[in-house]
């Protein structure tokens, strides 16, 4: 009881840290019609602090693109005036970010402990990884694949019935700290697997025939920081030599066209690629694990938000992958499965041509290691809430996404190589 009170106290303190931090901040969506209007957004970003939600960086803004960004409260009127004055088409997606942040926690699940329909902090998720393995010893085991910059153990769950020389699918969540729906999905997937094994024919076959490696949060330090200090943090929390700015974008830190397109060499930028490929302990641990298990891992899935996209390689080049037709047809069918539940529409295709070029991503890297089936999910929504998706949408988001993941996994099982 005392421990619980301490926890609640700590939670209250950390909630208080962020209290009103985002009061009056706005999230705008603009659609620049031409290069001149793109320039207006560029100059805006160079004159004040602008947090780009979509695309990840101002350098990726192009005509006709939906551009979502957050500005400080004291700048929001100035920004609105500038947009009006210059005739840039815009709308306010989130009028008061603080109100949206408070509204995230709208889950009816009123438990002090772990819940699949709530956003769980890292302590809760870490304890859950131990519990789920202990409760399902014949289906789930937990290991540590490395530790983070701040020294936290990186827990990996291996799911599946034990059997000789089984192939595997690797799935990770929580690359970007503020994308809270992502770790929620990894937890939900594990729950679905253990709850429906022996009942659902597809899930039973998958777990009998394949292993699933699930990394519930890769960027743990960043995730913790979004709970304690800054809900909008994206990167890791490592120190950068010669800079006061913290962190690297872990999804620009892989050795796949590293730091060429859609990534920044500046440590203060949100898409900073790091000092070298795998400079981050977290990305190195993931890459080391995959390299070690390359003979068994046949698919790689990475879960992000937001935009409702199902992407496959390449993002670091406009060149199409050699099995483009196959990947495209899988993505088409998986999107169709996903939409069958709540009619949620996903766009699919190769990263560079479907959204924008971005080098150093984990999906491209895994694909270039010889993992033929590599996919990135960008979960709900399309910008109404963006990164602050309410808890009431966790269940429907996860339910629909599982349909796509099961489709892909089943396809992989039927096309082992």
CA distances from 379 to 27, 211, 292, 305, 401 (A): 19, 24, 29, 5, 8
Please check whether residue 29 is in contact with residue 66, taking contact to mean a CB–CB distance below 8 angstroms: yes
> Counting beta carbons within 10 angstroms of the beta carbon of residue 404, is it exposed (0 to 12), middle (13 to 18) or buried (19 or more)?
buried
Please check whether residue 370 is in contact with residue 258, taking contact to mean a CB–CB distance below 8 angstroms: no
Q: Give the residue numbers marked as catalytic.
A: 378
Nearest to 197 by CA among 159, 167, 232: 159
Calpha distance 184→389 (Å, rounded):
11
Residue carrying the six token digits 């210059």: 86
Query: Within 13 Å and on the Cβ side, how many CA atoms surround 225?
Result: 22
Calpha distance 113→43 (Å, rounded):
46
């Amino acid at each position: 009881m005392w421990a619980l009170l301490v926890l609640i106290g700590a939670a209250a303190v950390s909630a208080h840290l962020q209290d009103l931090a985002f009061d009056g901040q706005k999230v705008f969506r603009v659609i620049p019609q031409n290069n001149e209007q793109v320039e207006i957004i560029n100059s805006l970003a160079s004159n004040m602090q602008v947090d780009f939600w979509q695309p990840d960086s101002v350098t990726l803004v192009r005509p006709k693109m939906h551009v979502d960004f957050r500005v400080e409260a004291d700048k929001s009127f100035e920004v609105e005036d500038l947009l009006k004055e210059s005739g840039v088409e815009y709308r306010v997606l989130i009028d008061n970010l603080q109100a949206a942040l408070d509204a995230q926690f709208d889950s009816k699940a009123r438990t002090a402990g772990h819940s699949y329909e709530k956003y769980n902090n890292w302590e809760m998720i870490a304890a859950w990884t131990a519990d789920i393995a202990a409760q399902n010893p014949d289906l789930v085991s937990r290991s540590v694949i490395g530790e983070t910059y701040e020294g936290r153990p990186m827990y990996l769950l291996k799911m599946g019935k034990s059997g000789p020389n089984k192939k595997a699918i690797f799935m990770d969540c929580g690359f970007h700290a503020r994308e809270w729906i992502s770790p929620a999905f990894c937890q939900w997937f594990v729950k679905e697997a253990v709850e429906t094994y022996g009942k659902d024919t597809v899930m039973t076959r998958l777990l009998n025939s394949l292993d699933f490696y699930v990394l519930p949060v890769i960027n743990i330090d960043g995730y913790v920081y979004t709970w304690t200090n800054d809900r909008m943090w994206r990167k890791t929390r490592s120190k950068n030599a010669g800079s006061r700015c913290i962190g690297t974008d872990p999804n620009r830190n892989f050795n796949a066209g590293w730091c060429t397109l859609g990534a920044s060499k500046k440590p203060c930028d949100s898409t900073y690629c790091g000092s070298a490929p795998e400079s981050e302990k977290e990305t190195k641990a993931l890459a080391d694990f995959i390299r070690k298990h390359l003979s068994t891992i046949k698919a790689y899935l990475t879960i992000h938000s937001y935009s409702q996209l199902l992407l496959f390689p390449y993002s670091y080049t406009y060149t199409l992958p050699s099995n483009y037709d196959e990947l495209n047809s899988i993505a088409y069918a998986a999107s169709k499965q996903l939409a069958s539940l709540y009619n949620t529409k996903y766009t699919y295709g190769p990263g560079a041509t479907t959204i924008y070029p971005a080098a150093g991503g984990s999906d491209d890297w895994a694909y270039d290691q010889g993992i033929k089936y590599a996919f990135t999910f960008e979960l709900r929504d399309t910008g109404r809430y963006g990164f602050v998706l309410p808890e009431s949408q966790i269940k429907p988001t996860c339910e629909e996404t599982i349909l796509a993941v099961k489709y892909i996994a089943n396809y992989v099982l039927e096309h082992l190589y």
